[in-house]
Amino acid sequence: MFTRFRYLQSLGLVALASLLGVPIRALLHPTNLVMLYMAAVVISAFFLGRGPSILASFASVLAFDYFYVDPRLSFTVADTEYLVTFTGLLVVGLVVSGLAARVREQLAALRDREIRVEALNDLGRDLTAAFNLEEMLRAVVSHVSQTLSREVVLLIPRDGMLEQRAATPNFSLEPSELETARWSFENGEAAGIGTDHFPEARARYVPLKTMQGVMGILGVRPQPGGAFLNLAQRQQLEGFAHLAAMAIERARLAEEANRAQVLGEAEKLQTALLNSISHDLRTPLVSIQGVLDTLLEVEEGGENAVVLDQPTRLDMLENAREETARLNRLVENLLDMTRLEAGTLKLRLEPGDLQDVIGSALAHLDEPYRRRPVNVSLAEKLPLIPMDFVLMEQVLVNLLDNAAKYSPPGAPVEINVSCHNNEVLLRISDRGPGIPPDELEHVFDKFHRVTIPGRVKGLGLGLSICKGIVEAHEGRVWAENRAGGGSVFNVALPLEHIKRGIV
Amino acid sequence: MSDLPANILVVDDEKPIRRFLRASLQGHGYTVFEASNGQEAVSEAAGRRPDVIILDLGLPDMDGTEVTRQLREWTSVPIIILSVRNSEGDKIAALDAGADDYLTKPFGIGELLARIRVNLRRAAKSEQDEPVFTHAGLQVDLAHRLVSVNGALVDLTPTEYDLLRLLVHNPGKVLTHRQILHEIWGSAYEAESHLLRVNISNLRHKLEADPNRPEYILTEPGVGYRLGY
């Protein structure tokens, strides 16, 4: 269709040359009018291609003869000298056609290559910008499928087994196809359509090779009825495969480095945990065991019977119970911390009433702090905010425990809740010793305890758990010193969660 | 308060826990039967006809929720669930299946005894409905739909009243969010927990002396509400 149009265009050019010749015919010798036709042939050659320009050459000879060579308006030639002109016109026309067409083809080839290089560059750029392996794989699939108009699949080994990690929406990997891909992966050779291995497969599978080995498999499948890849496209596919292989290798190395780092941190945590456990968890156990042993002795009587009066026995039992509560709190904190660390803490977000959380937390305070005066002041008409009620209560209990722990008995603790723009701010203020300025930033760190000699027992996990929970709620937590003495712990929670879209 | 002479079935696979529960419950005058797994629990419940069942959620042979479901096929005996913290989902499942109450391990024996008493009392009461409910300063006249706190009448919206009536009908029993939403607003609203939060908050402002430290309407974190009783 398009080709036929170009032939028509070349004939049109010849017609135009003939028309232009009419007004100047009287002024020029007919042989010079040949130049007009020559122009038509050259233009055809450069812009319309070889075929149309050959047609133009022949048409020019006929038109020149018909319109300008006597007798005009007939193909008869009176002067045989014109036969030389005809031959000249034809030969020049054909040669120019050939030359021009070759230039055109080279140009087209050059442009093709430029497009291919451009496509590779585009992919390279996207791969560099990719944030993680998933994004890289998506970039490869989308670039390859767009450039080659193919359905594309990417397979990456996981624990030694090759599995599909990214694909265009219409690519479904049947078991036999997966088999072909696995063969290609294991042998490091292309397989499938157009290769010697599994040519009956529905797609072509190319191994993504680097120095370290085969990183994965890139599969391309022609669309139904579509043509196979030509040489240039196959080369391009190889280019893509190479880029993808390098990118995947890079991502894998980064992942390994990252894992090593995480492992190192986990080890540090474990050491710290073991140290703390040996001390903080054992202390309550020691007192509980001591109390029980002593009371058993009292009960058993016998020769060396221990005699304790009733108030002393009661006091010992109270002590044992308090230590049990402490042990329980420590275990809970350790469990929470491990859950936060392992990322297995799942939020159950529901619209929650902060007043309800506060009431619940006050009722769940540890025994020694339950009688502490706590003044609560809440802004009117607080909106419900998305939260995991149980975890948020845990935050409050930890912060209140902390405030009570660090301030003298009887000193009131204030809870203040206000609403600002798009967040709710909860402040818990105490009249304790405050926090040394250089420690303000670190009070939420794991195992950090503000250094007050001989005062406070605990793992130093409570505040870091608060931080973990609040941040899981997309909120912020920070500490500051209070005017007039003491410290303030702030929790800011968003009114709605942008990421999750929960109001 | 004098304890009623009652039979209690303790279901837990941990022997030390059964041992100390038996000791302290017997010390308070209850008769104690034990079961160490779900199968045994179901057959003991049928054979002994206990007045209260204390049921651990983590049993070796079947889920405590499943035990509850099987028991609820034929008996309305009060069931008190024992579970560990951070398993709100399991608690809710068991409560939705028909359990009455729960305690989080580790628990104080005083707390357990209080729950046993409340549940025995409610079970005894449910046989004879009374038109007026009174607890501490709260009085709800169910016949005349009148609510008063310390003698002063309180004006409630119809929804608030329905909510209070539901709690009053089940004094001391833990009602899950889903159960309350289902009862008051209907099954289509079971996910609309904000309705419940707002109405509970309003009700507390009208009934409680200090809404920051509620005494009548108590929150069961992550699970539901109960009427303090």
Shared-domain flag, residues B155 and B87: no
Which of B125, B142, B167 represents a domain boundary (last residue)? B125
Question: Does residue B219 form part of some domain?
Answer: yes
Residues B67, B83: one domain?
yes
The mean pLDDT value of chain A amounts to 83
Q: Is A324 on the interface with B (CB under 8 A)?
A: yes
Residue A251 is which amino acid?
A
DSSP A160: T
**pLDDT band at B2, cuts 50/70/90?**
very low
Do B205 and B222 fall into the same domain? yes
- Within 360-399 of A, beta carbons closer than 8 Å to B belong to 360, 362-364, 376, 378, 384, 388-390, 393
Q: Are residues B119 and B149 in the same domain?
A: no
Structure tokens at A138: 């998506």
Cβ pair A140, A218 in contact under 8 A: yes
Q: Give the residue from B80, B102, B125 where a domain finishes.
A: B125
Would residue B1 count as lying in a domain? no
Length reported for chain A: 503
Q: How far apart are CA A365 and CA A393, in angstroms?
A: 10
Segments forming the whole domain that contains residue B148: 132-227
Residue A77 tokens, joined: 């030639």
pLDDT surpasses 50 at A3: yes
Question: How confident is the model over B69-110, as pLDDT tens digits?
Answer: 999 999 999 999 998 866 788 899 999 999 999 998 888 888
Instruction: Collect all residues with Cβ–Cβ distance below 8 Å to A173 and sequence separation of at least 6.
Output: A153, A155, A164, A167, A181, A219
Q: Cα separations (Å) of B227 from A381, A498, B102, B124?
A: 24, 36, 14, 17
- Whether B112 and B138 map to the same domain: the answer is no
Residues B111 and B174 in one domain: no
B2 within a domain of the structure (yes/no): no
pLDDT reported for residue A410: 85
For chain B, where are the alpha helices, taking DSSP H only? Answer: 15-27, 38-48, 64-72, 88-96, 109-125, 158-169, 177-185, 193-207
**Top-confidence residue, B68 or B126:** B68
Q: Is residue B117 part of a domain?
A: yes
Top mean pLDDT of A173-187, A277-291, A337-351, B41-55 is at B41-55
What CATH number corresponds to the domain at position B212? 1.10.10.10
Cβ-based contacts of B193 with chain A (< 8 Å): 350-351
**How many whole angstroms separate alpha carbon A390 and alpha carbon A357?**
8
Closest of B100, B97, B105 to residue B80, by C-alpha: B100
- Confidence grade of residue A177 (pLDDT, cut at 50, 70, 90): confident
pLDDT at A366 over 80: no
Structure confidence at residue A90 (pLDDT): 84
Asked if residue B97 and residue B205 are part of one domain, the reply reads no
Cα separation, A364 vs A396, in Å, equals: 10
CATH code of residue B71: 3.40.50.2300
Is pLDDT above 90 for A307?
no
- Residues whose CB falls within 8 Å of the CB of residue A239, separated by 6 or more in sequence, listed in order: A116, A120
Domains: count for chain B: 2
Select from B101, B148, B14, B204 the least CA-distant residue to A378: B204
Residue B85 and residue B142 in one domain: no
Q: Quick check: is B18 in a domain?
A: yes
pLDDT given at position A459: 61
Give the domain-ending residue among B107, B125, B143: B125
What is this structure's pTM? 0.60
Residue B160 lies in a domain: yes
Give dist(CA A277, CA B44) in Å, integer. 42
The residue of chain B with its CA nearest to that of A329 is B106
Q: Are B213 and A359 in contact (CB < 8 Å)?
A: yes
Q: Which residues of B touch A (CB under 8 A)?
A: 85-86, 88, 106, 193-194, 197-198, 200-201, 204, 211-214, 218-219, 221-222
Contacts of A332 in chain B (CB under 8 A): 85
CA A96/CA A44 separation, integer angstroms: 10
* Residue B198 distance to chain A (closest CA, Å): 8
d(Cα B26, Cα A189) in Å, to the nearest integer?
Answer: 78
Same domain, B120 and B141: no
Give pLDDT tens digits for A439-483.
888 888 776 666 554 455 566 778 888 998 898 888 999 999 998
The answer on B50 and B91 residing in a single domain is yes
Same domain, B109 and B161: no
Q: Is residue B171 part of a domain?
A: yes
| pLDDT digit string, tens, across residues A266-289 | 777 677 667 766 677 788 888 899
DSSP code per residue over A430-484: --S----GGGTTTTTSTT-----TTT--S-S-HHHHHHHHHHHTT-EEEEEEPTT
Q: Is residue B218 in a domain?
A: yes
Interface test with A, best of B83, B84, B86, B177 (most A CBs within 10 A): B86
Give pLDDT tens digits for A18-47: 888 888 877 877 778 888 888 888 888 888
Q: How far apart are CA B95 and CA B104, in angstroms?
A: 14
A278 or A294: which leads in pLDDT: A294
Distance between CA atoms of A256 and A251, rounded to whole angstroms? 9
Question: A32-41, A384-393, B3-12: which has the highest mean pLDDT?
Answer: A384-393
Most confident of A217-226, A346-355, B35-44: B35-44
Residues B114 and B141 both lie in one domain: no
Task: Give all domains of chain A, ordered by start, each with its CATH number.
Answer: 2-112 (no CATH), 130-256 (3.30.450.40), 275-340 (1.10.287), 344-494 (3.30.565.10)
Q: Give the mean pLDDT of chain B.
A: 90
